[in-house]
Structure 1
Amino acid sequence: MPWIVELTKSAADALDKLDTATRNRIRRFLRERLQGADNPRQWGKALTGRYAGLWRYRLGDYRLVCQLQDARLVVLVVQVARRDKAYIGA
């Protein structure tokens, strides 16, 4: 079964504030790699420590912090941020 992608309000707001090229690159990644994927884990890395249970996807200087909901087959994007700020408040 294919996975679907959802964004939290804060992640959607952060995405909307990015410059057009970066925003389009992230949207293309979500659409082409994660939306409809059989296994979204192949594109990311599991986080550990206080972020255990979350996954990160690296796109240049930006990170997508996501929660993979296996029961619903949903990749929930909880944060979109530059690499140096990605894990603050996630």
Structure 2
Amino acid sequence: MDKHQAKLIVRWLYQNEDDIDNPRSIGKGLTANRSGQWRYRVGNYRVIVEIDDGNMIVVAINIGHRRSIY
């Protein structure tokens, strides 16, 4: 991933996660061996996250192009 794309992803995360009450409302739940994790779509890239409800923390587990992230 190039530097420009990384900046876009970080900016997207800040813009979309700062003032939201439910971080699951903008993502999609994953299934099978990734059950409990969520996916955010940022252009052709995917951000795989785990959400800690008790502390409202979103932890990015993996970031990659959509063809190779899963």
Calculate the TM-score normalised by the size of structure 1. 0.72
Q: Structure 2 CA distance, aligned partners of 1:50 and 1:80?
A: 17
Question: Which runs of 5 or more residues in structure 1 are unaligned?
Answer: 1-17
Counterpart of 1:47 in structure 2 is: 30
Q: How well do the aligned residues superpose, as a CA RMSD in angstroms?
A: 1.1
Counterpart of 1:75 in structure 2 is: 58
Compare relative contact order (CA 8 Å, sep 6+) and give the higher one, 1 or 2: 1
1:15-34 alignment to 2 at 5 Å? 18-34=1-17
Pick the aligned partner of 1:58 from 16, 25, 41. Answer: 41
Question: Which runs of 5 or more residues in structure 2 are unaligned?
Answer: none
Q: Structure 2 CA distance, aligned partners of 1:41 and 1:33?
A: 11
> What's the secondary structure of 1:84's corresponding residue?
coil
Q: How many residues align?
A: 70
Q: Give percent identity, aligned residues only.
A: 34
Would you tell me which structure has more helix in proportion to its own residues? 1
Q: Which runs of 4+ in 1 moved over 4 A?
A: none
Describe the superposition over 1:40-68 as per-residue Cα deviations: whole angstroms up to 9, x where unpaired.
Answer: 11111000111100000011110000001
Calculate the TM-score normalised by the size of structure 2. 0.90
